[in-house]
Amino acid sequence: MRLLLYLMRHADAEAKKPGMSDFERELTEIGKKMTQRVALGLKRMSIEFELLGASPFVRAVQTAEIIREVFGIEKEVLKINELIPGSDFKLLLDVIASFHVGSLFLVGHEPYLGDFLSWVLGLQRRVEFKKNSVACVEISSFVQSGANLRWFIHPEQILSLIEGGTKLV
């Protein structure tokens, strides 16, 4: 089974305050606005996905909710514990496979997303996700090194697509 997997790093979040857990950090207003613009750019690129999931951390769920709103998706955002930083990559891949869908959009964190992407692509060097960056990976086999990178795009590039109207996929 072939799967298109979109991976996105959450948007800009507030700094951790005394007594606040990392789990609770929310998006900044700038982060919310940037995600809205990036989501519009992704929609303009004509990407499609069957399910939308996120790490249960507040900032990742908020990022995914903005994606859901822009794309007009009725289904709730799935909260996926295996996207929590430090989780086992094989467990995340097993969860992804268990959905039995052709396309999936996930929102997570750095450095976990970069490490996972490197692992699933079989790369020696780690890929770095800037905030709001998105990767599209085609998974042909649910094992380490079982995927190919279709594209990787930074938010600035996505925003330039809004003005230019170019379609990537």
Rounded (10°) angle between helices 29-44 and 58-71: 40
pLDDT at residue 142, rounded to an integer: 86
pLDDT at residue 90, rounded to an integer: 96
Phi, psi of 153 (to 5 degrees): -140, 140
Q: What's the whole-number average pLDDT of the chain? A: 94
pLDDT at residue 165, rounded to an integer: 54
> Where are the chain's structural domains?
3-164
Under 8 Å between Cβ of 8 and 39:
no
3-164: CATH architecture: 3-Layer(aba) Sandwich (3.40)
pLDDT at residue 167, rounded to an integer: 52
pLDDT in tens, 147-165: 999 999 999 998 887 776 5
pLDDT at residue 19, rounded to an integer: 87
| CA angle 147–88–137, rounded 5-degree value | 20
Q: Which of 14-23, 54-63, 137-146 has the highest mean pLDDT?
A: 54-63
pLDDT at residue 32, rounded to an integer: 98
Could you list the beta-strand ranges (E) of 39-89. 51-54, 78-79
Furthest CA-CA distance within the chain: 47
Average pLDDT in the 4-17 region?
96
